[in-house]
Amino acid sequence: MTITSSIMIEAPVERVFATFTDLELLQKTVQGIEKLEILEQPKFGVGTKWRETRVMMGKEATEVMWVTDLEPNKSYSIGAESHGTKYLSVYNFTETDEGAEVSMSFTGTPMTTMAKVFSGLAFLFKGSLEKQLHKDMEDLKAELEK
């Protein structure tokens, strides 16, 4: 399953990138995040790891995530593993005449037999997840444009 989304933000790309990679600000700004605890390497970079708690589909879900790739002011990737599935979120930042365009992709790859069986049901929650991921970016846009 892959989900993509993008958003235009009227702010310099450097400021947008800094906001999207500020874990303490994410916890305060992104409404979907209930709790965020930095586990390793507080300065955002490859290897930074944190535990994030959200309410998804009415249930609390906590996942450990980490930065797998980073190109300052251009892109970063976040990995996670849960219930036999590997997840990868990739954020790309492009400077435009209006500010910055942020595009993201979220991919879930089932690794175990059970995860592969349940991946057939992904269509049931894909729309909800798509809305949530875009809402996260809207929350950050609102913070940047206020």
Could you report the per-residue pLDDT of 93-127, keeping only the tens digit for each? 999 999 999 999 999 887 777 766 666 666 556 67
pLDDT at 81: 93
Kindly report the pTM of this predicted structure.
0.90
Give the domain extent around 35.
2-145
Reported as type and span, the H/E element at residue 112 is: none
Total count of residues recorded for the chain: 146
The count of structural domains within the chain is 1
On the 0-12 / 13-18 / 19+ scale of CB atoms within 10 A, 71 is: exposed
Q: How far does CA 135 lie from the centroid of its chain?
A: 11
Q: Where are the beta strands (DSSP E) in 10-98?
A: 33-40, 49-56, 59-71, 75-82, 85-96
Would the pLDDT of 13 be above 70?
yes
Q: What is the pLDDT of residues 28-74, one digit of tens each?
A: 999 999 999 999 887 899 999 999 999 876 788 899 999 999 999 99
What region does 99 belong to: left with phi over 0, alpha with psi -120 to 50, or beta?
left
CATH code of the domain containing 132: 3.30.530.20
**b or e along 30-50 (b: 16 or more beta carbons within 10 Å of the residue's beta carbon)?**
beebeebeeeeeeebeeebeb
Would the pLDDT of 86 be above 90?
yes
More confident residue, 129 or 25: 25
Band of residue 128 on the pLDDT scale cut at 50, 70, 90 = confident
